[in-house]
Amino acid sequence: MGLFVRLADWQTDFKAIRKIRQEVFIDEQQVSPEDEWDEHEETAQHFLVFHSDKAVGTGRITGEGKIGRMAVLKKARGLGAGLELLQFICKFARAEGQKSVYLNAQRHAIPFYEKAGFSVDGEPFMEAGIPHIRMVRNLTEKIEDIVSPEPDSTR
């Protein structure tokens, strides 16, 4: 079975979202729980990506157009789950009337996001003890043309 992405609800999909982010950000990348869980959890639109009917990735977007908390489980990296998730989030944002979106990319994931149509916007900074950089994407471009390798994660 292939990959599919769907809208997720923080209240009903809480366990799947938390499990993925716990494994990727807190366990793997040593982000503190205090930095991981924030005031946007209940108001952001969350997403889940599935492979073989198992949730393997998650992400979210705030009403201001900030994509974040993108995480793909280690066992699912290289399957295209991150790209599938990112495309879905961008299509959702465009359908909701967003003209552009932005994210804080972990520095090692910059090439992934550049290939996905994002551009660096600003100077590097630290977030949750990990080097990041702000990146933006204009949503007037064709989202379906994105082709690139899998990122590890993006806060």
Query: 3-154 domain in CATH 3.40.630.30?
Result: yes
- The per-residue pLDDT string of the chain (155 residues; one tens digit each, 9 = 90 and over) reads 589 999 999 999 999 999 999 999 999 999 999 999 999 999 999 999 999 999 999 999 999 999 999 999 999 999 999 999 999 999 999 999 999 999 999 999 999 999 888 999 999 999 888 899 999 999 986 655 444 444 445 55
Which of 82, 71, 68 is CA-nearest to residue 22?
71
pLDDT on residue 141: 65
Domain ranges of the chain: 3-154
The answer to whether 99 and 139 have CB atoms below 8 angstroms apart is yes
Q: Which pTM does this prediction carry?
A: 0.88
pLDDT on residue 55: 97
